[in-house]
Amino acid sequence: MKEWVGPARLLVTVGWYVALSLVVPVGIGYWLDQPNMLGKHPLFTFIGLGLGTLIAFAGLIRMLLRYQAEQERQKQKQKQARE
């Protein structure tokens, strides 16, 4: 496998994860703010934005830590192969 595939895959995954974790809660909040639902415009939209931001941040940290651990394992394998 080429060297650039791993980082590119991570970037695509992170991008989609962050986008969806922001869009879905904001969309649900916007839907709840409609006059025929709860009508508390823009309260639930902002709550959805805050919740989505927390979800995105937590997921981003988790993905980056997993990627870093994977890179460390690969470096150790390469180092052992040289010895």
Res 59 pLDDT > 80 = yes
pLDDT over 70 for what percent of the chain? 99
User: pLDDT-derived band of residue 1, with 50, 70 and 90 as boundaries?
Assistant: low
Average pLDDT, the chain: 90
pLDDT digits (tens, 9 = 90+) for 3-28: 788 788 888 999 999 999 999 999 99
pLDDT digits (tens, 9 = 90+) for 35-58: 888 877 899 999 999 999 999 999
Structure tokens that stand for 45 in this block: 């939209």
Residue 66's alpha-carbon distances to 26, 43, 44, 76, in angstroms, are: 27, 35, 33, 16
